[in-house]
A and B are shown apart, each in its own frame.
Chain A
Amino acid sequence: MTQPFRAPSGGSVRGDRPIRFTFDGRGFDGFEGDTLASALLAHGVHLIGRSFKYHRPRGIMSAGSEEPNALVTVDRGGGRVTPNLRATTVELYEGLIARTQNAWPSVRFDLGAVAGFAAPLLGAGFYYKTFMWPASFWKRIYEPAIRAAAGLGRAPAAADPDRYLHRYAHCEVLVIGAGPAGLAAAKAAQGRVILCDEQAEAGGSLLSRLETTIDGVPAAAWIASGLEDRVTVLTRTTAFGWYPGNTIALAQRVTDHLARPDPGLPRERLWLVRAKRVVIATGAIERPQVFPGNDRPGIMLAGAAETYLHRYGVLPGHKMVVSTAHDRAWFTAFALARAGVTIAGILDQRQAVVEALLNQARDAGIPVWTGARVVGTGGRRRVRFVETEGGPAVIPCDSVLMSDGWTPSVHLFSQSRGKLRFDPDSGVFLPGVSAAEEQSAGACAGEFDLAACLAAGHRAGGGSTRTFSVAHEPRFGAPSRPSPAQPHAKAFVDFQNDVTTKDLAIAASEGFRAIEHVKRYTTAGMATDQGKTGNLNALATVAQLTGLTIPDIGLTTFRPPYTPVTFGTLAGTSRGDLFDPVRRTPIHDRDAVFEDVGTWKRAHYFPQRGETMHEAVARECRAVRGDLGLFDASTLGKIEVVGPDAAAFLNRLYPGDFTSLAPGRCKYSILLGEDGFIRDDGVIARVAPDRFHVTTTTGGAASVLHHMEDYLQTEFASLRVWLTSTTEQWAVIALQGPRAAEALAPFLDDIDLTTMPHMSVREGHFAGVPVRLFRVSFSGELGFELNLPADFGRPAWDLLRETGATRYGTETMHVLRAEKGFFVAGQETDGTVIPDDLGLGWTIARRKPDFVGKRSLARPDMRREDRWQLVGLLTADPAVVLEEGARVTGADRESLGHVTSAYRSATLGRSIALALVAAGRGRIGTTVRVPMPGGDVTATVTSPVFHDPSGARMTAAIERLPGRVTRNLVSRPATVPTVQPSTEVAMTLVPAMRRFNVRTGVNLAPPLRAAGHTALWLGPDEFLVLDDKPPPIQADSLVDVSHRTTGIRLEGPRAAWCVNAFCALDLGDFPMDACARTLFGKAEIVLWRRGETEFHIETARSYLPYVWACLEEARREFLPAAAPR
């Protein structure tokens, strides 16, 4: 296939490597190195799409990411459809399939183009004015119709099958933009340097400067010299966002340019780079001229034409008109003329042009008109002629090159909170006062001379002042200032959103002045290109229309992203199974139906064959009340409170009295905030005089520890007490029901249950395994909770099933506790409930002089008679179950409160509910009405305790018990799937070992490894000791946490890279044997560097599958290509 517009020579595309692709179903060929735009232009294809509003034919205006017109959809197959890609940045690969957008039936014959005839009706704000009546039509008819007619590409419906990764990186200098200034900066910079550029290769404008030499070296060779090794060069990588702390977000497109990418590679990678210093070298964007009909296919920016000629060897046309107001475009005309293009004329708006240019044009036989401009164009699907003022009435042509000057790309500088200044000489905004550690260099700072750009870049990169000798570079004057344009319905300012100078005039005539208002009224600058080419033209035009200056009108805010970023890149691995860690208990009995409780999977109920949930729950409830139930309570929060002042600390923190609590006994307590409202609750056991085992709710585990640490570190800092989270150390099994003691006793090696009253605790052994045994009950029956080292949780569960106990889940647990009137934090409480509201005033040791929340409980409002109080509700119809959250109303339909819990109770053979009702305890026996979707339901107010009000069942004495049975449990540690070996980065699970959490008031600085143990520093008084036996350290608090975490070993040259895919630490500043508690994605870990290329990661056991799977994702690109991925 011939390419009629491919120049006979020139360009860096590989003419010996043809590539086939299709565009709207038609086959084409291009060359390796082409973009979709350059390949289509080589075939003379200029018509690429239809415009957003008027469906006007549109072509290719630029050669870069600023392109407003040439938007296409690329289909990579298998659901990989990406709309709104700029053809100018889509790199060609074998088999590429691209389609036009917003045109039907085809881009050549688009029925939507009738919108062009309606254009007079569709000006700025038309939908506010035209579709006013009737109001109800807006949502149903007008808006859907407008949305269907307008728009760009369609979002794909299928799930995105590609993978995306994130990566944290650190460097001394980040250089954004690999043009001349950026390259000079990167070469001068010291330390770790990252250089990124949105294009496929570094070089920027140098790629089009074929003859220029720098310090005697041809520009093309100068680009790569001096970058090797030292500088991380990221091409196809857009710096799209600037965030606090000199954190720059980069979107790296890894595989989209490849026909058959390695499936181990992510499609895109989000880099979060923290740079000590940033050099912004983002260059400048050429401005189109604003004249009627300036949007026709074939009309292009002059600099873009030069790029197509020099980089791709493509001629945008054979007969061109050049329209400009500054010198630079003249050189473009000369270069194209040398390549064989007929230049039908240069129109320069200036009256006077330097003699040298006029002479060169004359020598090249190019007609020139100064003081001349284009005032109209013609041609249906491509420009065929221009109409001029100051030149011939009509000049026939097949393309027009326009240039109104250059706008510095100050987007990132502005995002960094730097203050822009308006430069009256050049008529553009330039970087003013910096707010971050950055420096702009080159064209983005208003410098357009090559030698000066190189010198500025060199200085910005950290180099000393020096000059660069540049030769064979054309000399040209400063770019022109933005020129205002006359209102005209077809003179486009914002091409992508179809905004014309007439729309701006409408806005001005209706009183809009501030550019932010004009922008929103006309939508100028609001399309996917964010007005990169159009904004300054809009400003200049509005300034002229309103008689104001550009600084008066202001500038719209630059926001991330600089260019569109895929959702996949932003999400990274945080989707599907890795969106959140999925935490399973050590027991995780798969016979259950699970429910999500926070990030935990908890057994909801255990259905037997054919049972509905209600049937299963009713059976489970009856089993607990009448026989024996088995429940996995491992998710309960647990905190070990150790130290001589442990009781004093709890006394200040909780309302109860802990100094009088004897070792071996438990106390139920509520936790209050300083405002007196209930935060959490749990059972607190005194295991030893200086050691308490505190339990919290499942959801409250982290916040209660945080609350405790807050008071301990800041208010009660003199107390000698230390806290250790043991939530994951223990698996917890609740054994509840009349048969509990009888079933449990045979497996207890050294605990006599007959000595255990209700609310007591013992330490001993269960089937050969250490156990912390509580006699507590959340069901109202005789019950125990076994705390076992987590690896023994599942074996113990299986052993206890042999007793014939019925497994039950959280739903049954909730029904049982509601029958007893036990509240659940977050269900009965909402941050406004105090203990007395729940009838729990008895838990408060009122004689204590102070505890957290006491002063607030003394406020008059806390003693009001009409506070909402917890009561029971029994519906008149026992079959009706109230809705949780339903309002409780009185005789006059006044609101009295709301229903907090409602269940079917198998025990009572009817429905029950708990409610918070104003002065509720005084209303017991009265009737209330509860509005429900089917009408009011009548209910009687009762005590919240429906079952065994005296508590005799759970406090019953334990007498005769069966004899002991010898059983020995075998531990079942956490496991992970086997992994592919890799020499780049190997991953293994560290074998089980003993671990101790050591807290010490003495600031201990032990050698990390001594006498066979390793002490990992976690904080100023906290160490994690990995050892076989308790460490020889003088510890104030020593807690065995052997089962709490699991170790992962990561080894190989890519180990640090994989860690940095999820961890934000600077591993370049993390020496051998350094360790830190930190975050890895959404999991907390302890990271320990064991060698240059070896890391040990400690992760809580429930987070192990998440951390493991994340590391697998990070490793995939380093697996041998032959291995299954």
Chain B
Amino acid sequence: MLLIPCPWCGPRPELEFHHGGEAHIARPEDPSALSGTEWAAFLYHRGNPKGSHAERWRHQHGCGRFFNCVRDTVTDRIVVTYKPDEKRPA
């Protein structure tokens, strides 16, 4: 069971969390201005890297907050977690 450091609550057991897909995919300001192809890319196209991956998690059964997390998809190690309004750390 992973130990996930929630930016608000500190390290907590994986059971309390809910995965929320790839991070840093902002909803377009004006979706109606997007072409079908652009909209499809926003809706469905996601990265699937081997290695570092920025993804969203929610501390569903804890503080309820969404946050971002860089996780290594090979080792399953969590590199860093940060609040949703923060930039991905280098």
Contact = CB atoms under 8 A, between A and B. Distances in A.
Contacts of A244: 1-2, 14, 76
A247 B1 contact: yes
A243 B2 CA distance: 8
Interface string B29-51: 01110101001000100000000
A709 interface: yes
A674 B59 CA distance: 22
A1064 B15 contact: yes
B14 A1077 contact: no
A1019 B32 contact: no
Contacts of A1065: 12-13
A717 B60 CA distance: 18
A1078 B18 contact: no
B63 A856 contact: no
A745 interface: no
Given A675-B43, A714-B84, A854 B66 contact: no
A710 B30 contact: no
A1020 B63 CA distance: 7
Contacts of A715: 26-27
A856 B66 contact: no
Contacts of B9: 1076
B85 A1077 contact: no
A859 B38 CA distance: 12
Contact of A855 (B31, B64, B65): B31
A417 B64 contact: no
Interface in B53-78: 56, 58-66, 75-76
Contacts of B26: 715
Interface string B8-32: 1100111110101000001100111
A1018 B63 contact: yes
Contacts of B79: none
B89 to A, nearest CB: 18
B32 A854 contact: yes
Given A245-B1, A1020-B63, A435 B31 contact: no
Nearest to B66: A713
A849 interface: yes
Contacts of B58: 706, 709-710
A1079 B12 CA distance: 11
Contact of A850 (B20, B31, B84): B31
Contacts of A1054: none
A851 to B, nearest CB: 10
Contacts of B27: 674, 715
A157 interface: no
B1 A1019 contact: no
Contacts of B84: 713-714, 717
Interface string A364-384: 000000000000000000000
A435 B75 contact: yes
Contact of B1 (A272, A674, A710, A858): A272
Secondary structure at chain B's binding surface: helix, strand, loop or mixed? loop
Contacts of B59: 1019
Interface in A985-1020: 1018-1020
Given A272-B1, A717-B85, A855 B66 contact: no
Nearest to B18: A706
Contacts of A1078: 12, 16, 61-62
Nearest to B14: A245
A706 B36 CA distance: 27
A620 interface: no
A277 to B, nearest CB: 14
Secondary structure at chain A's binding surface: helix, strand, loop or mixed? mixed
Using C-beta atoms within 8 Å of the partner chain, give the interface range for chain B: 35 or more
A1022 interface: yes
Contacts of B43: 674-675, 856
Contacts of A247: 1
Interface string A836-855: 00000000000001100011
Contacts of B62: 1019, 1076-1078
Contacts of A856: 39, 43
Contact of B2 (A168, A245, A709): A245
A706 B58 CA distance: 9
B63 A245 contact: no
Given A709-B64, A1065-B12, A855 B39 contact: yes
A1084 interface: yes
B59 to A, nearest CB: 8
A274 interface: yes
B8 A1064 contact: no
Nearest to A859: B36
A654 to B, nearest CB: 16
A854 B43 CA distance: 13
B18 to A, nearest CB: 7
Contacts of A435: 75
Interface string A1054-1065: 000000000011
B79 to A, nearest CB: 14
Nearest to A716: B27
B61 A1079 contact: yes
A194 to B, nearest CB: 17
A850 B1 contact: no
Contacts of B32: 849-850, 854-855, 858
Interface in A269-284: 272, 274
B66 A1022 contact: no
B1 A274 contact: yes
Contacts of A860: 36
Interface string A354-370: 00000000000000000
Contacts of A1084: 61
A1038 to B, nearest CB: 17
Nearest to A675: B43
A1076 B11 CA distance: 12
Contacts of B8: 1019-1020
Contacts of A1079: 15-16, 61
Most buried by B among A168, A709, A714, A850: A714
Interface in A708-724: 709-710, 713-715, 717
Given A675-B43, A709-B58, A245 B12 contact: no
B81 to A, nearest CB: 14
Nearest to A723: B64
Contacts of A274: 1, 3, 13
A247 B13 CA distance: 10
Nearest to B9: A1076
A710 B12 contact: no
Given A710-B58, A1076-B9, A1079-B16, A245 B3 contact: yes
Interface of A: 168, 243-245, 247, 272, 274, 417, 435, 674-675, 706, 709-710, 713-715, 717, 849-850, 854-856, 858-860, 1018-1020, 1022, 1064-1065, 1076-1079, 1084
Given A850-B31, A856-B43, 5 more contacts: A244-B76, A272-B1, A709-B66, A850-B32, A1022-B64
9 contacts: A272-B1, A417-B75, A709-B64, A714-B66, A859-B36, A1019-B62, A1020-B63, A1022-B63, A1079-B15
What are the 9 A-B residue pairs with the smallest beta carbon separation, nearest first? A1019-B63, A855-B31, A1064-B13, A245-B2, A245-B3, A247-B1, A713-B66, A715-B27, A1079-B61
